[in-house]
Chains A and B, each alone.
Chain A
């Protein structure tokens, strides 16, 4: 159980945060690109706003935890 939670946290942090930042950068570039249709740009903005909120939530929910690996 604890292991699953750890894996989840790990996923959220390493995978998701990095992916969020990457996708945000792509969205920025696409919105700026005139080739992107206006409808699409607006949809991208909405998506981007969601990503920013998710990333901020991940940052805000980060908490300190210390575990010791025993010397057997």
Chain B
């Protein structure tokens, strides 16, 4: 153990502090830098030592000089983000950078990892827009529930735009072609200092007179379109009593006015197309409706005709005649049956009669007379017993071929019979 080791050891005697490794300290620093105040921040400064690495990554310092104080911040911007930066970066340029502070352990230094760069003037405007956006969102200006549908058939269309220039002309052309109606133009400056006030005023002037408003402007730079981000304009749109269609700049440029509008159109012409219906297609749909109405009525009539035909068919003389014939047939069949029944009955009765006649004939007393018997009668009655006769009675004898009147002399009763 050498003297200096001994010394340290003596100094530390009684303490239990561990010796940290470099990486432990480094990660501690990293943890400390994970502070909300250092994450996703905008910083203003001047570019120094700007270098683009072969890999495409950019390295530079952001400097600030104010009086005797000076401060420098190392910055790195990766290739992917650097490609998105539209302006040319060079030393001495005032810029706004957006990013987070991080610690680079291999070199033991902290730096800003840049994700966006804006030239100072424009950058500040971007920041302003961001701030306005937050504020106006909180006010509910961009609430999707607020968006209204456009009227299907407006009578008057308000146009808020520059009175000179192609935009108004485009809108006019489209509307006169699709559906000529009344345009109420509320002219306004569309760029420059104070333009936002004019735009808001122009909206207010026309909003009570029309059914829908087109707020339009041709393409331009971010600065040109800047008035359309202003809260005065955005609030006016969100308070507008009629729907607003926005068509500001090119499709890629989005302003806060576009967010607030009820409908955003990619171009002024497209806005005009959204706002008015197409007269030709309306004529077509009317013609279609008439045709459909006719064909549906015709179908109904045909169906009714069919119903009527079948009803008439049921009532036709021919059908009645058919029914009569059928009835006649029934009658003839019945009478035939009756006739047949009656004749067979007659036949039967006739047979019975002849049988009876035969029986009768068989029992004819004439037959007995034929056989030699005779019938004794007294006063026309047939005498069957000796008891019926008294001596002196006059009796008639009936024989096969004649009669004889006799007088009884004596009567003998045969007791054995």
Contacts and interface: CB of A to CB of B under 8 A. Distances in A.
Contact of A31 (B183, B286, B300): B300
A59 B283 contact: yes
A65 B163 contact: no
24 contacts: A6-B156, A6-B182, A14-B151, A14-B154, A14-B155, A18-B153, A31-B293, A34-B300, A49-B290, A52-B286, A55-B282, A59-B279, A59-B282, A62-B179, A63-B181, A64-B172, A64-B175, A65-B181, A66-B172, A66-B183, A67-B184, A69-B184, A69-B186, A71-B188
B183 A13 contact: no
B292 interface: yes
Contacts of B300: 31, 34, 38, 41
Interface in A14-72: 14, 17-18, 24-25, 27-28, 31-32, 34, 38, 41-42, 45, 48-49, 52, 55-56, 59, 62-69, 71
A18 B149 CA distance: 15
A64 to B, nearest CB: 4
Nearest to B300: A41
A52 B185 contact: no
B296 A28 contact: yes
Interface in B160-201: 163, 172, 175-176, 179-188, 198, 201
B304 interface: yes
A45 B294 CA distance: 7
Contacts of B181: 13, 62-65
B293 A10 contact: no
Given A10-B156, A38-B300, A45-B297, A66 B185 contact: yes
A38 B304 contact: yes
B293 A49 contact: yes
A70 B201 CA distance: 11
Nearest to A25: B289
Give chain A's interface secondary structure class.
helix
Contact of A14 (B153, B172, B183): B153
B236 interface: no
A69 B293 contact: no
B209 A64 contact: no
Nearest to A48: B293
B285 to A, nearest CB: 8
Given A6-B156, A67-B182, 13 more contacts: A13-B154, A14-B153, A41-B300, A52-B290, A55-B282, A56-B283, A59-B279, A65-B183, A66-B182, A67-B185, A71-B198, A71-B201, A71-B202
B186 A32 contact: no
Given A64-B183, A69-B186, A9 B283 contact: no
Report the 5 A-B pairs with minimum CB-CB distance, sorted nearest first: A64-B180, A13-B155, A10-B155, A65-B182, A69-B186
B205 interface: yes
B324 interface: no
A23 to B, nearest CB: 11
A9 to B, nearest CB: 6
Nearest to B205: A69
A59 B297 contact: no
Nearest to B185: A68
B286 A68 contact: no
